[in-house]
Structure 1
Amino acid sequence: MEQLWYPLSKTLAEKAAWDFAKEKGLDVVVVNPGTVMGPVISPRLNASMIMLVRLLEGCDETYENFFMGSVHFKDVALAHIMVYENKTATGRHLCVEAISHYGDFVAKVAELYPQYNVPKIPRDTQPGLLRAKDGSKKLMDLGLEFIPMEKIIKDAVESLKSKGFIS
Structure 2
Amino acid sequence: MRNNLEIIIAKLNDVDSLVKAFEGCRGIFHTSAFTDPAGLSGYTKSMAEIEVNVTENVMEACARTPSIKRCVFTSSLAACIWQDNVNSDLTTPIINHGSWSSESLCIDKKLWYALDKMRAEKAAWRIANERGLKLTTICPALITGPEFCHRNPTATIAYLKGAQKMYFNGLLATVDVKKVAEAHACVFKEMNENAYGRYICFDNVIDAQSEAEKLAKDIGMPKEKICGDASNISLQRYELSNNKLCRLMFRPIRCFSEN
Q: What TM-score results when the alignment is normalised by the length of structure 2? A: 0.42
SS, match of residue 30 in structure 1: strand
Match of 1:70 in 2: 174
Q: Secondary structure at the match of 2:119?
A: helix
2:189 is aligned to: 85
CA contact 1:93–1:138 (8 Å) conserved in 2: yes
Alignment of 1:4-23 (within 5 A): 4-23=111-130
Describe how 1:25-40 pairs up with structure 2 within 5 A: 25-40=132-147
Task: Determine the structure 2 residue equivalent to 1:142.
Answer: 248
Alignment partner of 1:129 is 2:240? no
RMSD of Structure 2 on Structure 1 (CA)? 3.4
Over residues 102-152 of structure 1, what are the superposed CA-to-partner deviations in whole Å (9 max), with x where a residue is unaligned?
A: xx3653143697xx97345356945442344xx1111110235xxxxxxxx
Unaligned runs of 5+ in 2: 1-107, 251-259
Residues 97 and 136, structure 1, Cα contact 8 Å, conserved in 2: no
Higher-Rg structure is 2
Instruction: Identify if the C-alpha distance between structure 1 residues 105 and 2 changes in structure 2 by more than 3 Å, giving closer, same or farther.
Output: farther
The structure whose RCO (Cα within 8 Å, separation 6+) is larger is 1
Identity of aligned residues (%): 28
Gaps of 5+ in 1: 56-60, 145-167
In 1, are the aligned partners of 2:113 and 2:158 still within 8 Å (CA)? no
| Distance (whole Å) between structure 1 residues aligned to residue 119 and residue 162 of structure 2 | 26
**TM-score, normalised via structure 1 length:** 0.61
Aligned pair count reads 130
Tell me the SS of whatever aligns to 2:165: coil
